[in-house]
Amino acid sequence: MVERIGFFGLGAMGKGMALNLQTKGFQLNGFDIAPEPVAILVQQGAVASASIIELVENSDIVVTMLPDSPEVEAVVLGEGGVLANGRGGMLLLDMSTVDPDATDLLAAKLNQAGIDVVDAPVGRLEQHANYGESLFMVGASDEDFTRVRPLLEAMGTTIHHCGAVGSGMRTKLVNNYLAIVSCQINAEVLTLATRLSLDLQTTLDVIHGTTATNGQLKINYATKLLTGDIEPGFAIDLAHKDLTLIVNAANQVRVPLPIAAAARESVSLARSTSFHNKDFAALLDHWYERAGVKAPRL
């Protein structure tokens, strides 16, 4: 039986993922509050659903890619959502980055209705989503992981089964802790280098030749920010949201994260400016602006 896929959340990441599903042979229904990405999917042969209810009624697997926990809970647990309109045997594949407690809650409620849940938050950036090169951190039973794996393989190149439901989301928070804090440190380091009148390229060559280097500086900065592109693959607003989730999750298990807490407050400063909806690597431009120096470009 060919499973019908419903995809809700066609934003910067979701649009590319849904397009990869559609162009790689899946039977797709799409819905979003913005009509433009839905129209693009329809041009590729997908069906447009007029509401979440219609999407759920015409899907065997519902995929969500949404900004935060409240949006996911509304779509899944609200009157017009998955729980109220779904049926036994369905599966929810949530690829959003949300509070792990929200994932646990959704799984508990949907499982009572015979609906399975998989959490598969996404690593990498918008360009990877567009090219079908995303990384997925999956929380699922073995059976459900087998069921969703063909979808994930159509959308990505790297899939990690992290454990039971909820483990994918918790792995994502650990990963994003390092990624976001790395961007904050990089911003401070390169601002300092400029204030010390150091040549940017020489400084980068030195850093990349030692253990001081990091993936954000080597990849995201080199291919995006330092070329002048600060449009979001992952916005500063979302980085702040994730740091909040990280700090809250750590507090619940009594793990002190003073660096994460400090980074969140630092990102709050950038979030209060016009950089809030720019890529999180643009923390560098924010810090250059605060230091009164020109943002560097290679």
Q: Which of 224, 207, 194, 42 is nearest to 126 (CA)?
A: 224
The rounded distance, in Å, linking the Cα atoms of 193 and 181 is 18
Contact (CB, 8 A) for 163 and 144:
no
Contact (CB, 8 A) for 290 and 239:
no
Alpha-helix residue ranges (DSSP H) falling in 219-291:
222-223, 236-252, 258-271, 283-291
Q: Are strands 122-123 and 134-139 parallel, antiparallel or unpaired?
A: antiparallel
Any catalytic annotation for residue 172?
yes
Contact (CB, 8 A) for 88 and 114:
yes
Contact (CB, 8 A) for 32 and 44:
no
Q: State the CB neighbour count (10 A cutoff) for residue 159.
A: 17
One-letter identity of residue 55: L
Q: What angle do CA 244, 249, 252 make, to 5 degrees?
A: 130
Q: Which of 24, 109, 172, 218 is catalytic?
A: 172
How far lies 193's CA from each of 81, 155, 200, 210, in Å? 51, 39, 7, 16
By annotation, the residues acting in catalysis are 172
